[in-house]
Every structure is written in structure tokens, then in C-alpha cells.
Structure 1
Amino acid sequence: MEQVTLHGDGISATIVGQGAELVSLRDAEGTELLWQAGPAWRRHSPVLFPIVGRLTGDQLRHQGRSYPMTQHGFARDKRFTWAEQGPRSCTLVLTDDADTRAHYPFAFRLAVSYSLGQRQLGVTFEITNTGEEPLPASIGAHPAFNWPLLPDLPKTAYQLAFADNENAPIRRLRDGLLLAAPQPTPVEGKRLALSERLFDEDAVIMDRPVSSSVRYAADRGPAIEMSWQGFRELGIWSKPGGAPFLCIEPWHGLASPADFDGEFIDKPGVMLIEPAAKRVLSYQVRLL
């Protein structure tokens, strides 16, 4: 089975087995809210696992050995197994195999679940350590929404409104790695004005945001509220130079600091899951 389409009250979602990726999210009127993987960026909403961002030299170091690991990890390019499927929900599973262990020498089970309710999509990540040593991992969501949501509105008509004031400095990247020096936040109180220039220096990274929800909206037309549980960081990204999508990304993990080249288990932002234990993280997209 390549894909399923779930139907809720005033919402529908399509998920594919490749990468357990959400590829369509429509409201009651059939308006497509998710970026449709055009030439500017060939993905919709990839699952980032077992890393978020880049590692130094694209190498994962464990017990003195190096393993090749490209940006955002391998889950987005792996075919998941369909574990459950119903009219409003589904679960897909990825487990370690010879290919994953060549890049990531750990045993794991990653389950990605989607469920629809009243104008709301819920997404749950469940990471289980099926091995005998602590499992170091990061995970992130990367949904790309159309920007603008209404084609006749300018991009600058949109803003992000956070649940709480976000006054802390942000982090930025250079060559995909985390710069040491924080930068002043572009968020004014609870409001982040959106423009293409915001992403000239790549993603806006909020390290430990106070808020656990944000609203993406203009003065009219469709609007979206995202909320999340278990994630510690938030990335906001569009392709530098301009592209018709906006990514709102709850993360547990970050790119490697530019000056870090140590063991993966020691990398800032990595969660450690004990043998037989699991971690559950989730986010919701509510159509307003």
C-alpha cells in the first residue's frame, strides 16, 4: 500500500509509506494547505530521525567509529511498514536493519501515527529502544505549509502569533551547523512578521521557546494553529531567496554546534532512551 487518505470532520489528510510522510492536508472546502513538493523543495512534511539538522562532516561518531549520516537523518527516505489503518487514523513503523545500522549503530522502533478529529490533525512519534544500550536520538517534524495560504494575498500579509511572549535570543546556522553566538530575536512580543528576508540566513531556531503553540494566519482566509508536546526547540524555515512555503518545525534536537566534533551521545540536544524504554512526542495542526 503506497498511501492512505484519512477523513475527519472538516479535514482530510493523505499519508504515504515512503518516509511516513504527510503529503496532503485539506480543509472542508478542499483547499490544499500543505506545500506540494514543487521544484523549490521536493518534500512535503518529512520526518527527521535520528538527527535534526546536520552533523559535523556528516559523520556520526560512536565509540570511536564514524558512520555516514546526511542532514536530518534517514527516516524520511525509508519505506515504513503500515501497522494500523482506519478511516480516521493510521500508524506506520520503521525498525532498524542492516542498512540503518551502517549509518546508526543502534536498535530502535519508530512509530508514526496520524489521526483526524474536528478540523484537527494529530501526529505522534513513538521511539522505543529495542537494544541493550542507551539509545541516543533526535527527532523533528518538518511540515511545509503553503505561503501564502490564499494565492491572492502577499506573503507579508501573514504572521506567526505565539501563545506567549518570546523574548529569548534565537540561533542561526552557517553551512548547516549551529553558530555559537545567539542573535536577537525577530519576534516582537508574541508576533513574528513574515517576509522572505527573514530566511536570508537560513532557519530561525528558537531554543527552548516558552510557547507550545503558534498560529499562522493573515487577516483573512484559512489559518492554522500548531501545538506540540515533548519537543524542546522550534525551527521556522523557508528556502533562502524565496519559495512559496513556510515550515513550522517542532524539534527535539539541533544541528551540531560548529565547534562540536565529539561522540553523538554527547551532542547537545540528543535525548537518551534507556533499554526497553520509549519516548512519545506529538503535535497537532488545527484548522481555524
Structure 2
Amino acid sequence: MLYWLENDQIKISVDTMGGELHHITGKKEGTQYLSDGNPAFWKYHAPILFPIVGKLRDNSYTIEDKTYHLPQHGLARVREFQMVSQSANHLTFELSSSEDTLAIYPYPFVLRIIYRLEGNNLSVTYEVLNPNSSTMYFSIGAHPAFRCPLEEGESLEDYSLVFDSKETAYRIPLNTDGLLKRDKVPFLDRQNTIALSHELFSQDALIFESLKSCTVRLVSKNHKKGLVFDFSEFPYLGIWTIPDKKAPFVCIEPWMGHADYEDFHGDFTQKEGVLSLDTGEAFHCTYSIQINQ
């Protein structure tokens, strides 16, 4: 079921399936900023990645010598959330652990997603609560796909991503199984701009760790429409599209955690990038999207 929220500048919708954002509409001209989820390209709009980000080796992991299985990006994106709170400027959705989730992820949890509008800005807050009597381990992230191009007659090559600081950055490459490689690849050398093209993603997503920047802008050379994406609370950033399909979107993905490294064989609790949360504690992180109309 879709729930809608709007103010005088922006209108959004969120589906209870996956707690997933489906629309970001600029009300000035009715421009849609989020991908339409066309299954010919990619059926999602902005899935929530929990309790893993990316892929596990053989889609499995071990906790205390017991093996569990999770698909890429985890369980949240294919579970029904409940809408638990709404006001004039926010919507809150909640997913709790169940017998079904405990069979594939052994930690009790409460996951809340809070969508909040202020002017032309949408903030998305993840809240994870640990109701269990022991420490829980997890990763969490976002995978919003933004329409690119935004206007008829344009192509992806008309757009760039511009960071707020000049970066000297390496990307973390993926192998053919979607696992991370150890040898990082030089990518930015005191630069703040990535010119987009489908060829740029011929070897899958661009993955960065510990960038200096707090924001990245999606800009067109033809007009002022675009967006500013704030990922300041997240240590990892992924950028992705589907080059062989020439998909009309680009994903900007803030992550708390990442896929397995190809040489990782340890317990899930020892995985690089994994988060821990003590009993009775809560975890919060927020990203935001400011649209330019």
C-alpha cells in the first residue's frame, strides 16, 4: 500500500512493501526524480538494505558456528512494513523480527524508517533497535535510483556527479561474483567531478570509502534540475547503474557496511564494516535529498 506525503514544493510516496520510497515529485513542474521501477531495467525504486549490504559469499554467513542464508542486500526489501506514525511532514514505517526472519537472521530487531519533508528537502532516517538480551550485528544502507536523464532528449552522458570537496580517492572493485577485491583502484586525483557514462560502470558499481565530502550533486549541463545528496553520516558510498541495458537511472547509495571481501571466511560478527548494537540500545543514521527544480 502506498502512503503519500507532500508540502508546497515536493511530494513523495512510500510503499509498505519494503518500506520503500516510490516517488519524489517536484511540484513546480511535476518532475519525477526517482526511477519508476520499470522491471525491464530494475524493479526497485529505493530499497532498504538490511541486515546486510551487498552480497555474501555463496549467499551464506556464519554466527557461532551456525550457517544462515541471506540473498543480496538482505531481507527488508522484500518484507511488508507497517505504517506506524504520520503527521503533516513525516511518515514512519516499522518492521519487526518474526519467526520467518529469525530463521535466516538470528537477531531480534525493530527497524524503523522515518521520511520527513522540509521545504525541498527529504530526509530519510534509519532507526534500528535491539530488544534482545545480547549484542546484535548488522549492516544497513540505502539504494535510491534517481532518474537520469531528467528531461526528454538527454542522455546519461549529459550528467555529472559533483562532490563538495576535491577528492583523491580509490574505488573498491568487485569480482564477477559481486564480492569486494582487496586491491583498490585509483579513481579521483584531487578532483570533485565524475562525468557519467554507461561505460563507467562496465565493471559494476563504483564503491568508495571515507570520502572527505559530505554531499554529492547530480547536475545536468543543459538545465538547473538535479539534486543534492547528503551522505555525511555514512562511511561508504556506492554509485551504480546497469550499463548493458542503458538504464535511465543512476543510484547513489550510502552504506553502513558492504559486501563480503572475496577472501573473507570468518564469523559475521568479525566482518569488516559490520555494526554492533548492545541490548536495549538504538542506532540512528540519516541521509537527505534536496531537489533542484
TM-score, length of structure 2 as denominator length: 0.95
Q: Distance in 2 between matches of 1:229 and 1:128?
A: 22
Q: Indicate the residue corresponding to 2:173 in structure 1.
A: 172
CA distance in 2, matches of 1:142, 1:279: 19
Instruction: Identify the match of residue 208 of structure 1 among 207, 210, 216.
Output: 210
User: Hey, what does 1:8 align to over in structure 2?
Assistant: 7
Identical positions, percent: 35
- Measure how far apart 1:221 and its partner are: 4.1
| Residue deviations 1:229-278 (CA, integer Å, cap 9, x gap) | 43110000001312111000000001000000211111111011111111
1:123-157 alpha-carbon deviations (Å, 9 max, x no partner) = 00001111111111100010000111112222111
- Unaligned stretches of 5+ in structure 2? none
Deviation, structure 1 residue 186: 4.7
After TM superposition, give the deviation of residue 107 of structure 1 in Å: 1.0
* Alignment equivalent of 2:227, drawn from 224, 231, 234: 224
The reply to whether residue 252 of structure 1 matches residue 253 of structure 2 is: no
Instruction: Measure, in 2, the Cα distance between the counterparts of 1:42 and 1:228.
Output: 24
**Matched position secondary structure for 1:42:** coil
Cα distance in 2 between the residues matched to 1:188 and 1:239: 27
Aligned counterparts, 1:137-286, within 5 A: 137-174=138-175, 175-186=177-188, 189-219=191-221, 220-241=223-244, 242-286=246-290
The answer to which structure has the higher strand fraction is: 2
Q: In 2, distance between residues paired with 1:136 and 1:228?
A: 22
Cα distance change on mapping 1:73 and 1:80 into 2, 3 Å: same
TM-score where L is the length of structure 1: 0.97
Alignment of 1:107-146 (within 5 A): 107-146=108-147
1:8 to 1:188, Cα distance in 2 relative to 1, 3 A: farther
Question: C-alpha distance in 2, partners of 1:229/1:186?
Answer: 19
Query: Which runs of at least 4 in structure 1 moved beyond 6 Å after TM superposition?
Result: none
1:29-65 CA-to-partner distances (Å, cap 9, x unmatched) read 2111110011110000000000000011100210001
SS in structure 2 opposite 1:167? Answer: strand
Following superposition, the deviation at residue 86 of structure 1 comes to 2.3
The number of equivalent residue pairs is 287
Does the 8 A contact of 2:215 with 2:232 survive in 1?
no
